[in-house]
Amino acid sequence: MPQKKRAMRREDLLDFKFVRTLDISPDGRRVVYAREWIDAEDNKYYSNLWIYDREADTHTQYTFGKHKDRTPVFSPGGTQIAFCSSRDKQDGIYLIAADGGAEQEILRRRGSLGNLSWSPGGTQLLFLFRKAYNAPASESEEDVKESQKEPVYRHIKRLWYRLDGDGWRPEDGFHVWRYDLRRKEAVQITHGRYNEECPLFSPDGRSIAFVVNRRKDPDREFLYRDIIVCDPNGRRERKLNKPDGPAYSLSWSPDGKYLAYIGHDNPHDAWGSTNENLWIVSISGAKARNLTKKFDTTLYDPTISDTDDAFGGPTPPVWSADSRKLYFGAPRHGSNDLYSIARRGGSPRVEAHGKWAIQDFRADAARKVMAMRIADPKSAGDVWVMKLNRGRSGKPQRVSEVNRNLFRQIDIGKPQSVWFRSYDGTRVQAWILKPQNFKQRRKYPAIVQVHGGPRAQYGNVLFHEMQYLAACGYVVFYCNPRGSQGYGEAFTKAIIGDWGGPDYEDVMAGTDFLCEQPFVDPKRVGITGGSYGGYMTNWAIGHTNRYKAAVTQRSVVNLISFFGSSDVGYDTKEEFLATPWDQFDELVRMSPLTYVKKMRPPLLIIHSEQDLRCNVEQADELYAMLKYLGRTVEYVRFPEEPHGLSRGGRPDRRMARLRFISDWFDKYLRT
């Protein structure tokens, strides 16, 4: 008899495996990927490299040890793999033979390394490097110890001087370096106070391209990014003819005549309401062209989950071998699919569509095979492979099941996709996740979840927290209110200057829809969310008594203080259409703290002490006022953690966070 499956447990997350970055060999035979795992005893995350051999249909571990091996890239000849790894408190670049063996360290630095790009001949590597904050003057024991001490003071001169999850930003940014494998030497290509991104060798190796912002005040105008082409020594620079605005994920055409990138032409929109489009720009000097202007969605994966790092940036477009077509990813209605479009333009064509999120993809040299990282409601992300067929949509095949043994034991609930009408007739998508051993005639307590962002989407991926809460006996409801991605630019822009307006009405209409379900007890409904979802949780309990209990996480309550306390708070004018000195009343109107006297449901506040995105002072303000007013409120602070505690925080703290949430709702929704 088959073994009866059990419900998801909180501690199951500690046994999850995660597929992170990947690459495919030039001949299409091998796929290398980083597999991340949690060491519960060490309370840390580690990752090693694995190889999938398509011919043998085997998976082989290539690197070992408690390291964080990442971003593997095959050499042009397919004989070597370069990758970055954090070891002994330093970042390094390593090589390993494609047939396996011991890895070779070629470079180690105190700072951050990444964005590896091989030269066509396989003799050189481009990479980015940024010195560590307060880096030692030398590698002597005395200098290293001195650098690890807390400084006497921090003398701050820049507007953007810190970044959540990254900490204090060094004065020097990321710069382009080149490593010569024959001479075994590293050469710095770019210098100055600017920050370079996306370095790439051209197909003939005679040029390199990168992205940089060289405005007079790049902290204030950080979306003004240019694409620069120069020789491999950094000489003969020229700026390509693109409009003002961001540029991400560069990709050379195989014929070397074009660069493709993801971006838009609105340099004032830092909050993601403007669609990211696919652009190509000619190396000859012709003006950049927007290929997806009429394709009404953004071109990065905005799908939120606690099993993946959100907002990692768009995957670089993949060119066809003849440079006439490009492949790209785009979200739609909770999924993230693969599309293609001709270089000359036209309507995008669906290449791979499903109830999933295609999170990453790479193609072989002939563009006949594509390796993909795909997550769906039954997996936390696996390796998939798809043959690229001329004129026909492909069908990706899953080739890994990194959580197979664990998931065989667990009854993973299948979320039900539903649509409901909001107050003005707008259709809004949502998902309902039912408890294990669900009985139709029973009345269950329910939890409404609101995602962060707000420019994100819930969708067709596995969310451990949702599964765990459903296993605790709750109906879990999560929707994509206005402001979310995946439903067109007008839908996304609907909340600009009106947070707490149509987005709140959508959440309330969703709650009405939820309470109409015969298996939901309308008197036992709670609400929770993090970041923007925390904002909406605070807003909701200040405007309605519909919810019996609430948990607000890493939230915003005061848009006046948010301007100065957040790492990006100063760049909010285009989102809120207000500044503290000119439209003070508007920011007060949109601040949940304004309505604190109306907040009645029992509230649990969860916040991280090193959260630089939504500073912990936001939680301090809310807790102090509610406690003074005599409300039922408790406050949990997590030391050391940044904004993304639920996705990448220390494992024991992630376990504690889930326990606090379930205990709170058990206390107030069970009776």
**Nearest 10 degrees: Cα torsion 645, 651, 652, 656:** 40
**Does residue 130 form part of some domain?**
no
pLDDT digit string, tens, across residues 345-383: 999 999 999 999 999 999 999 999 999 999 999 999 999
Q: Give every CB contact of residue 547 below 8 A, 6+ residues apart in sequence.
A: 448, 511, 525, 526, 527, 540, 541, 601
The CA-to-CA distance between both ends of the chain, in Å, stands at 38
Domain span at residue 513?
414-669
In the listed set 39, 73, 96, which residue is the last one of a domain according to the structure? Answer: 96
**Does residue 500 form part of some domain?**
yes
pLDDT of residue 2: 61
In the listed set 61, 96, 131, which residue is the last one of a domain according to the structure? Answer: 96
In the listed set 71, 96, 121, which residue is the last one of a domain according to the structure? Answer: 96
**Does residue 521 form part of some domain?**
yes
pTM over 0.85: yes
Nearest to 527 by CA among 535, 595, 377: 535
486: domain CATH number is 3.40.50.1820
Rounded CA-CA distance 29/52 in Å is 8
Rounded CA-CA distance 413/377 in Å is 8
Q: C-alpha angle 516/519/520, rounded to 5°?
A: 60
Rounded CA-CA distance 200/360 in Å is 18
Q: Can you tell me the mean pLDDT for 198-227?
A: 96
pLDDT digit string, tens, across residues 389-409: 765 667 999 999 999 999 999
Rounded CA-CA distance 182/308 in Å is 38
Mean pLDDT of the chain: 95
Residue 536 has φ and ψ, to the nearest 5°, of -70, -35
Share of the chain above pLDDT 70, in %: 99
Residue 277 has φ and ψ, to the nearest 5°, of -115, 170
What would the two tokens of residue 105 be?
């360290």
Handedness of CA 186, 187, 189, 193 (dihedral sign): positive
pLDDT digit string, tens, across residues 5-24: 999 999 999 999 999 999 99
Q: Can you tell me the mean pLDDT for 221-245?
A: 96
Handedness of CA 515, 516, 519, 523 (dihedral sign): positive
pLDDT digit string, tens, across residues 553-588: 999 999 999 999 999 999 999 999 999 999 999 999
Give the strand pairing for 475-479 and 196-201: unpaired
Rounded CA-CA distance 617/605 in Å is 12
Give the strand pairing for 335-342 and 549-553: unpaired
Q: Can you tell me the mean pLDDT for 594-622?
A: 98
Percent helix, strand, coil in the chain (nearest 5)?
15, 35, 50
Q: Give the count of beta carbons closer than 10 Å to the beta carbon of residue 270.
A: 18
- Please check the confidence at residue 88 and state whether its pLDDT lies above 90: no
Give the strand pairing for 44-53 and 58-61: antiparallel
With contact defined as beta carbons under 8 Å apart, do 333 and 320 qualify?
Answer: no
CA distances from 594 to 543, 590, 597, 622 (A): 11, 8, 8, 10
Nearest to 592 by CA among 567, 568, 621: 621
β-sheet with 633-638: strand ranges across: 416-421, 427-433, 475-479, 444-450, 520-530, 549-553, 603-608, 633-638
**Does residue 565 form part of some domain?**
yes
pLDDT band at 137 (very low <50, low <70, confident <90, very high): confident
pLDDT digit string, tens, across residues 408-454: 999 999 999 999 999 999 999 999 999 999 999 999 999 999 999 99
- Please check the confidence at residue 103 and state whether its pLDDT lies above 70: yes
- Please check the confidence at residue 68 and state whether its pLDDT lies above 60: yes
**Does residue 551 form part of some domain?**
yes
**Does residue 459 form part of some domain?**
yes
pLDDT of residue 563: 97
Q: C-alpha angle 578/166/481, rounded to 5°?
A: 45
pLDDT digit string, tens, across residues 155-209: 999 899 999 988 898 888 999 999 999 999 999 999 988 999 999 999 999 999 9
Residue 200 has φ and ψ, to the nearest 5°, of -145, 135
Cross-strand bridge partners of residue 248: 262
**Does residue 92 form part of some domain?**
yes
Q: Which residue in this structure is represented by tokens 């664990």?
A: 406
Residues listed for the chain: 671
Q: Which residue in this structure is represented by tokens 């449901």?
A: 601
pLDDT of residue 312: 67
pLDDT digit string, tens, across residues 505-532: 999 999 999 999 999 999 999 999 999 9
- Please check the confidence at residue 535 and state whether its pLDDT lies above 70: yes
H or E element at residue 343? none
Number of folded domains that form the chain = 2
With contact defined as beta carbons under 8 Å apart, do 592 and 603 qualify?
Answer: no
**Does residue 263 form part of some domain?**
no
Q: Give every CB contact of residue 18 below 8 A, 6+ residues apart in sequence.
A: 35, 36, 37, 47, 307, 308, 380, 381, 402
Rounded CA-CA distance 234/219 in Å is 24
